[in-house]
Amino acid sequence: MKTLGHWIGNKPVESTSGAFGPVYDPATGAQPTQVSLASVEEVDAAVAAAKAAYPEWSQSSLAKRTAFLFKYRELLDARRDEIAELITAEHGKVHSDALGEVARGMEILELACGIPEKLKGELSTQVSTRVDVASIRQAVGVVAGITPFNFPAMVPMWMFPLAIACGNTFVLKPSEKDPSAAYRLAELAAEAGLPEGVLNVVNGDKVAVDRLLAHPDVAAVSFVGSTPIARYIQAEATAQGKRVQALGGAKNHMMVLPDADLDHAADNAINAAYGSAGERCMAVSVVVAVGGIGDELVAKIAERAGALRIGPGDDPASEMGPLITREHRDKVASYVSGAAAQGAEVVVDGTGFSVEGHENGFFLGVSLLDKVRPGMAAYDDEIFGPVLCVVRAETYDEGLALINSSKWGNGTAVFTRDGGAARRFQLEVEAGMVGVNVPIPVPVGYHSFGGWKQSLFGDLHIYGNDGVQFYTRGKVVTTRWPDPADSAGINLGFPSN
Ligand code: NAD
């Protein structure tokens, strides 16, 4: 069995904590790898490496930083398949989906390559006689990133390329369920010439996270994961005086209006609900069927759901892979098993599903639940699996009120041909990311990603301009070069003009 340790100061570091976590191949149920779970001292070593690298890196020229970023981008571009294979091996998602994840992560790296444009300051000349004022942005220091299992390469890449482009140094704590892709990204950064200590990976669990939150030398924390942990991270890290962006869970609604193209809507519902086995924070987990279209839409979704090919992620024929762990698979299945008793109609039942030759894999078929209502566990909880709920609403207003009463507000979408209705929806819906006939509106790298309500704790969204703001702090410099002819004299008044 392989043991994965830490990556500190551009070198592999073996853990001495004696604690390990299992890393499974979800398609087989085997455990090819164990990941070291860092002790407090090991986290401290990673932070110390980042702190030592900070003075030089934060003062390095933009030309030097971008030279690295462009080189790194080329290196990763040539290794997309390799990263995608690591993702599939530990997460389980199909290879094409893993390649998509790498591509979406690289978008942020590409944004980071253009960092000089983003870090241009502002200058006002002659605000007073011979006085100029410049606003500049500078790095914040050592940044910690804590990431979830569901995008083991993309979410780390939402963070560290932009953070280091801004002059920070970084300690990444990837999900202990699938840590190898992030580790490889750090190795490749070293290969592309990143100076030692600028990007470090410390593997671990709550012990490592809690140490990062408490460490006096960590200035900022970027977190992506579930809502309870996001809330905890924000509370703990802000109490320690750190800046925090903590992105949480979701329950994303897709409203389908009566005038929508129902085939198009059904295709999109399938893709967005069952892609990556529903383990996406932007997955559509609720379809809100408005007006009298419910029966027809449900029939169209059910027909498509029955045809999906589920199998190992490395089989090109598979459209959907297994879930992350056996426990998670069983928990997801329990929502389907319990749905009928709570009054939902189980239209497609994915429980009890297995793949021939992979009977120990963490597979689950897709499920479709109709006539779901708030108050049912399948509606109220984030299931994070291949379970799509359909809620019927009489009117647009009823559907909108349902969506807006959710405690989450990550992504949402409306499917319609009516521009006026779509425009109302954009303005009236309470969510951070809205799609119009686009089911998973994950913003491109040069816009920012983030939800409302319990989907994000903090102010700034992640990547894009918000990301640059988060990873920098403002400074305003007021300058006067006195003219030799001036006689300043004494003046105790408050400086004005
Ligand atoms: P998780 O919250 O269990 O874990 C995320 C990270 O937090 C991991 O690195 C983990 O080691 C750490 N962690 C877990 N428990 C902890 C604890 N008690 N104390 C300190 N640290 C702890 O999330 P997950 O299961 O890995 O990922 C799935 C969740 O992430 C879903 O809720 C999903 O919606 C969410 N997610 C959100 C976004 C977004 O952008 N909003 C993106 C991806 C995933």
Active site residue 281: yes
Nearest atom (ligand 1) to Cα of 250: 34
Residue nearest to atom 17 of ligand 1 (CA): 206
Q: Which pLDDT belongs to residue 494? A: 85
Do residues 148 and 175 lie in contact, with contact meaning Cβ atoms separated by under 8 Å?
A: yes
Q: Can you tell me the distance from the alpha carbon of 21 to that of 4, in angstroms, rounded to the nearest whole number? A: 10
Q: State yes or no: pLDDT of 289 exceeds 90.
A: yes
Beta carbon of 236 within 6 Å of any ligand 1 atom: no
Q: State yes or no: pLDDT of 497 exceeds 70.
A: no
Beta carbon of 209 within 6 Å of any ligand 1 atom: yes
Residue identified by tokens 């202990």 is 176
The residue whose CB lies within 8 Å of the most ligand 1 atoms, and thus the one to mutate among 146, 203, 229, is: 229
Cα 147 to middle of ligand 1, angstroms: 6
Cα 91 to middle of ligand 1, angstroms: 14
Q: What is the mean pLDDT of residues 178-183?
A: 98
Mean of all residue pLDDT scores within the chain: 97
Cα torsion at 331, 336, 340, 345 (round to 10°)?
Answer: 160
Beta carbon of 451 within 6 Å of any ligand 1 atom: yes
pLDDT tens string 153-170 = 999 999 999 999 999 999
Q: Among residues 113, 166, 281, 389, which one is catalytic? A: 281
Cα 245 to middle of ligand 1, angstroms: 13
Cα 225 to middle of ligand 1, angstroms: 3
Q: Can you tell me the distance from the alpha carbon of 377 to that of 414, in angstroms, rounded to the nearest whole number? A: 24
Cα 174 to middle of ligand 1, angstroms: 10
Cα 206 to middle of ligand 1, angstroms: 11
Beta carbon of 21 within 6 Å of any ligand 1 atom: no
Q: Can you tell me the distance from the alpha carbon of 266 to that of 286, in angstroms, rounded to the nearest whole number? A: 12
Cα 228 to middle of ligand 1, angstroms: 9
Q: State yes or no: pLDDT of 211 exceeds 90.
A: yes
Nearest atom (ligand 1) to Cα of 226: 32
Q: What is the mean pLDDT of residues 190-215?
A: 98
Beta carbon of 229 within 6 Å of any ligand 1 atom: yes
Beta carbon of 149 within 6 Å of any ligand 1 atom: yes
Q: Can you tell me the distance from the alpha carbon of 387 to that of 297, in angstroms, rounded to the nearest whole number? A: 16
pLDDT tens string 314-348 = 999 999 999 999 999 999 999 999 999 999 999 99
Q: What is the mean pLDDT of residues 465-486?
A: 93
Q: Which pLDDT belongs to residue 181? A: 98
Do residues 296 and 10 lie in contact, with contact meaning Cβ atoms separated by under 8 Å?
A: no
pLDDT tier, 402 (very low <50, low <70, confident <90, very high otherwise)? very high
Q: State yes or no: pLDDT of 490 exceeds 90.
A: no
pLDDT tens string 416-467 = 999 999 999 999 999 999 999 999 999 999 999 999 999 999 999 999 999 9
Nearest atom (ligand 1) to Cα of 210: 20
Beta carbon of 205 within 6 Å of any ligand 1 atom: yes
pLDDT tens string 234-280 = 999 999 999 999 999 999 999 999 999 999 999 999 999 999 999 99
Beta carbon of 105 within 6 Å of any ligand 1 atom: no
Q: State yes or no: pLDDT of 488 exceeds 70.
A: no
**What is the 3-state secondary structure of the chain?**
CEEECEEECCEEECCCCCCEEEEEECCCCEEEEEEECCCHHHHHHHHHHHHHHHHHHHHCCHHHHHHHHHHHHHHHHHCHHHHHHHHHHHHCCCHHHHHHHHHHHHHHHHHHHCHHHHCCCEEEEEEECCEEEEEEEEECCEEEEECCCCCCCHHHHHHHHHHHHCCCEEEEECCCCCCHHHHHHHHHHHHCCCCCCCEEECCCCHHHHHHHHHCCCEEEEEEECCHHHHHHHHHHHHHCCCEEEEECCCCEEEEECCCCCHHHHHHHHHHHHHHHHHCCCCCEEEEEEEHHHHHHHHHHHHHHHHCCCECCCCCCCCCECCCCCHHHHHHHHHHHHCCHHHCCEEEECCCCCCCCCCCCCCCCCCEEEECCCCCCHHHHCCCCCCEEEEEEECCHHHHHHHHHCCCEECEEEEECCCHHHHHHHHHHCCCCEEEECCCCCCCCCCCCECCEECCEECCCCECHHHHHHHCEEEEEEEEECCCCCCCCCCCCCCCCC
Beta carbon of 15 within 6 Å of any ligand 1 atom: no
pLDDT tens string 84-133 = 999 999 999 999 999 999 999 999 999 999 999 999 999 999 999 999 99
Q: What is the mean pLDDT of residues 41-47?
A: 98
pTM of the model: 0.97
Q: Which pLDDT belongs to residue 482? A: 84
Give Cα separations from 223 to 146, 175, 354 (angstroms).
5, 11, 34
